Structure 1
Amino acid sequence: MVKKRPTIIDVAKKAGVSKSTVSLVLQNSRTVRDETRKQVRQAMSEIGYVYNRSAANMRQSNAALIGLVINNLRNPFFTEFATSLQMALSEKGYAVVIANTDESAQLQDQVVLSMIEHGVSAFIICPAYGDTDATFDAIERAQLPALQVLRRVDERVETFPFIAPDYRVGSVAATEHMIRTGAKNIAFVGGREGFAVTDERMSGYLAVIQREGLQPTIITGDSTRDFGRKTAKDIQQNHPELDAAVCFNDLVALGLNSGMREAGRAVGNDFLIVGFDDIEDAAQAYPAISSVSCGIDAIGKWSAETIVHWIEQGNAPVVKHRTPVELILRDTT
C-alpha cells in the first residue's frame, strides 16, 4: 500500500498553526515571527513534508482568492452585502468567488468543498439553516480562516467568529417609534419560525410590547414580498384591529405595503409599516418604507478588513461582533 504524502494541512496540525501560516512560511513572508517559522520548519522535517514549488506556482493565481458563500442572493440585502464585500476585498488585492446556496445546507456543503479543492485562502459565509456540520467541519479540517456573517448557525465561534447587526436594538427602536406615533395593536410579520435570526429580530419587538402591556401578534412565514402581500389579506380578514406591523425584512414590508393599499388601508396613516435591512427598494417604493438600516456597506468593509488581517497576520478576530443599526423614518410611519 502506498503511503500518503504529507500535506500542508498535516504540517499545520503538527506545528499547531493555521494552514495560512504554513503557506506564509513557505512563501518566505516577513510577516511570520522567527519562532513560528522555526516551529513550522521543524514540523515539516519531522513528518517528511517536501514543498513542491512548481505546483505551488501553478496555484499562485488562487493564493489571494476568498470564498464568499451566501444563503440567498435573490434577496437584495445579501446582494448588497456581497457587492460591498467584493469591492472592499478587491481594493486589498483579493479576488472573490461567490456561490449562492439558495438556503440549501446540502448545496452549501458542495460549494464549500469545491472552493477548498480550488485553493481559496479563506471563507466568508452567510450560512443556510439546516444541518451545516459538514460545511464547517470541512473548513476546520482545512484550517482555513472563516467568518460567519449576518447569521450564526455554528456555535464554534472561537473557530468561526460571527459578525451581525444588532437586530434586537433595531426592532426595539421600530416598535417604540410606532407606539409613540399612536399605534396600539402592532404585529410582527415574517421570518421563518425557529430560526435564530427571526428570534433576534422579534426579541426587541416582544420586549417593548410586554413592557407596555400590549398584546403581541406574531405572523411568521417566508421572508418574501408574496408572503407580505398575502398577510395583508389575512390581517384584513382575521385581525382588523391591527394598526401597525414590524416586518422581518423589507421584502415582507414591500409586499405588506402593496397588499394594504389594495385593501384600501391608508399606509402611513391608519396602518404603519417598518421594514428591516433598508434595501434600496424601501426608499424607492411608494409610499417610501421606513426601515431599520443595518449599515450593510460598513459590515462588508469590516468583514474584508478582518479576513485579510486574519490571513496575513494569522490573528483571529473577536468571536462575536455586533454592529450598530439605525431606524430610518419614511412615509409608512
Structure 2
Amino acid sequence: MAKTNPGNFFEDYRLGQRIDHAVPRTVSGGERALYHALYPARHALHSSDDFARACGLPASPIDDLAAFHVAFGKTVPDVSLNAVANLGYAEGRFRKPVFPGDTLRSTSEVIGLKQNSNGKSGVVYVRTEGLNQKGEVVLDYVRWVMVRKHDLNALAPETVIPDLAKVVPPDSLVIPEGLDFTRYDFTLAGEPHRMADYEVGEVIDHVDGVTVEEAEHMLATRLWQNTAKVHFDATNRADGKRLIYGGHVISLARALSFNGLANAQMIAGINAGAHANPCFAGDTVRAWTEVLDKAETSAPGVGAMRLRLVATKGGEVGALKGADGKYLADVLLDLDYWVLIPV
C-alpha cells in the first residue's frame, strides 16, 4: 500500500466535504522577525508591544497577513497541492489578533465545484477557518483554486458556484477587543494622516518597488509550510519557472503601502481578491491604492477604510483593466480589503 500522499485532484472533491488540515503550528516572535525580513513591513502596531498596549491591546500581535499565511499554508496539501493557480478570495474576516504563543490550525469546507471546458482541470471553492488553541476562529475566508484532474475520464460534477458577497458589510467587521486609537501616537506610527485625510476615489502611489528574488519567495513559502508543487518544482510548469505564491505578492504590496498608509494598522476584512497575472523571480513589484469607502466603528477612535490595493510590475498608477475588461498584463494583484485606521 502506498504511504505517500499525491494530493487531491479535482475529481476527488465533493460538495459539502469537510477537511481538517494537518500540522497545527505554534507561532512565536520568530514569525514576526522572518516576516519583517522577507517584506518591508513597518506598521507600528505589529512592531512594538508598547505601541500596541497604548492602542489597548495586551501586546503586539503578529502581522495579520502572517496569520493568514499560516492558516492558508495548512490547507495547501489538501486543497491546492495539484493547483494550476490560486484564483481569488472573498468574504474574509480577521476575527481575533494572533499573538506569539498561539497555536493555529485550519479546517475547510468545499462549497463549490466547476469543471473547466478543457476537461483537464476544474475550480474548487472552499471556505476556510483558522482556529487558535482555544478553538476560537481567528480568521475565515473563501478562496477558489484551479486544480488539475488526474483521471481525465472522470465524470464532471454538477456545477455549483457559491453566491459570494461582493463586500463584507462594515458593520460586520470584528474589532479586536480593547482596541482604542484615542491615544494614538502619529509620530511613532510614521505619518500624520488619519481617516478624515483620505477621500473616496483618491489614488495613492506607494512609490517604492521590490525586486523578487528566487531565494526569498521560496523561503517565504517554506516558512508558511505551503507545499504547492508550482512554487518549488521547476519541472511542474512547461516554462520551467517556479510560480511565486500569491500571498507573497499580497504581503509585498501591503508592506509597500506603508508609504502613504502607515496608519492603516490592521486588516479587518477581505472583500475580493484576484491574482491577475503570474509573478516570477526577477519581477519588480510596485503598488498603488484606491480609497473605495470609509465607515465608522464602535471602537473609540477607530475607523474602517475600504481600499483597493493593486500590485504591478511597473504599469501606470491607476491603470487596472483594458477596454476588453481584462486585467492589464503588468497587473499582478487586485485586492479589495478593509483596514482599521485612526479617525
TM-score (norm 2): 0.25
Flag the structure with more relative contact order, 1 or 2, with Cα contacts below 8 A and sequence separation at least 6.
Answer: 2
Larger Rg over CA atoms: 1
TM-score normalised according to structure 1 size: 0.25
The structure in which a higher percent of residues are helix is 1
